[in-house]
Structure 1
Amino acid sequence: MATKQIDYYFWVLSDWAYFGGPRLAAMARRHDVAINYFPVKMPYVYAKTGGILLGDRSKQRQDYRLAELRRWQRKLGMPINVPPKHGTTNEDLASCLIIAAKQDGQDVEQVSHDILKAVWVEEVDVSQAEALLEIGKRSLKNVDDLLKRAASQEIQKEFWRYSDEAIERGVFGSPFYLFEGDIFWGQDRLEFLEEAVIASRMKSLSF
């Protein structure tokens, strides 16, 4: 059983979380580290931390983002549609489905990636319960019950609590990783995160 943990804050509409998710999961398995998944309301986080939504950024910044996405698509060999048909949909129910499954004790690694892939590859509107039902069936048990819980006030409050907690812990973008007091922003920082994990393991072995 993993004794160390990465706290992973992400937006279910994040292109960079889509690119980084599989590599984060593979790295955690290599080093026997748990991942605690925290989907957050990133527009809310941006508003509280000085972030700028994509549509409000300058043309230069938008163009550079597209160039970077093309570079990472080639590097990782992962398909992506830019822009996705439903990239600005409401993400609340999808995020709350992950939280409901997490509270149910289920592994949410696959459903988290499947939701991101649905947005960025499959052109699926993840605001729709019917779409989430089909996505959830791929990796979760009792998806009907989880979707009912996801729509509950209790789970929605937890979603907002995650978002407030993210801000308090220094999160301002997606994906964001926290490990033993260190913070890492962006899937292009996974190498540094892995170095921190390895260093922590070596320190533990030295005692």
Structure 2
Amino acid sequence: MSDLDFYFDFSSPYGYLASERIDGLAERCGVTVHWHPYLIGAIFKQTGQSPLVEQPIRGDYFRHDMERCAKLQGTPFQIPARFPYAAIGPSRAFYWIDSFDPILARQFAHDIYRGYFADGLDMSNPETVIATATRHGINANDLRNAMSDPKWKQHLRDVITRAVERGAFGSPFFFYEDEPFFGNDRMDQLEQWIKSRS
């Protein structure tokens, strides 16, 4: 099986929509997906961008588009009360969980995304993140310690650095054999590309 790198921000609605589609794409294409949460806020500082909803005129359009895309995709969605947020806690937690159980880490990622964009939970609160993880039998104190551990702080910084070096600038962002694709709306094209290379 070939590899597909999936970069996303837990605060990204389009990243959320892509996360609900990525498993089906992987099955149809026979690829192994590597999940890489990162912080697009850090990317924005380097590219001069700002969150879509904060941009004049474009912000209103994208708020509408997020809801429309979710509806067409059949994915539960609401714009959270606190949106966007710096998804540092969920990202560090993901990498710690991924270090010993990658399948569980992906389940955790789905729960974080759905909790935030479907259920309106405040994932900027570390205790909400921890409560989400404990549903999978993860020890709350272990995760609390991991989220403040310098090892996972540095790991997240390293992921962001590597993403920038590869040319990622938003969420979701995909690399298949170093071919870049940006956006949930490019996933059909991504699938076609993968199948054309096999």
Deviation at 1:12, TM superposition (A): 0.6
Call closer, same or farther: CA 1:195–1:135 in 2, change over 3 Å. same
Over the aligned positions, Cα root-mean-square deviation in angstroms equals: 1.8
Match of 2:43 in 1: 45
Per the alignment, do residues 50 and 112 of structure 1 end up closer, same or farther by CA in structure 2, a change over 3 Å counting? same
Q: Describe how 1:13-92 pairs up with structure 2 within 5 A.
A: 13-54=11-52, 56-58=54-56, 60-82=57-79, 84-92=80-88
Verify the 8 A CA contact 1:87 1:120 in the aligned structure 2.
Answer: no
| Identity between Structure 1 and Structure 2 (%) | 24
The range that moved more, 138-147 or 123-132, is 138-147
The count of residues paired between Structure 1 and Structure 2 equals 197
Matched, 1:93 2:89: yes
Q: Give 1:145 deviation, angstroms.
A: 2.2
In the TM superposition, residue 144 of structure 1 has moved relative to its aligned partner by 4.2
The normalised TM-score by structure 2 is 0.91
Equivalent residue for 2:119?
122
AA of the residue aligned to 2:35 = Y
Question: Equivalent of 1:182, from 170, 179, 183?
Answer: 179
Question: Matched residues in 2 for 1:39 and 1:19: separation?
Answer: 14
In structure 1, runs of 5+ residues without a counterpart are: 202-207
TM-score normalised per structure 1: 0.87
User: d(CA) in 2 for partners of 1:21 and 1:121?
Assistant: 13
Alpha-carbon distance in 2 for matches of 1:139, 1:171 = 31
Three-state SS of the structure 2 residue aligned to 1:8 is strand
Shift of 1:181: 1.9
How many Å apart are 1:168 and its aligned residue? 0.7
- Distance (whole Å) between structure 1 residues aligned to residue 27 and residue 138 of structure 2: 22
Q: 1:132 aligns with which of 129, 133, 141?
A: 129
Q: Structure 2 vs 1, CA of residues 77 and 170 (structure 1 numbering), >3 Å: closer, same or farther?
A: same
Moved over 3 A (4+): 137-144
Match for residue 103 of structure 1?
99
Cα gap change, 1:128/1:70 in structure 2, threshold over 3 Å: closer, same or farther?
Answer: closer
Residues in 2 aligned to 1:143 and 1:6: alpha-carbon distance in whole angstroms? 31
Which string of whole-angstrom CA distances, capped at 9 and with x for unpartnered residues, describes residues 164-197 of structure 1?
1111101011000000121000011001111122
> Which whole-Å CA distance do the structure 2 matches of 1:133 and 1:31 have between them?
34
| 8 Å contact from structure 1 (residues 98, 112) kept in 2 | yes
Cα displacement (A) at 1:67: 2.4
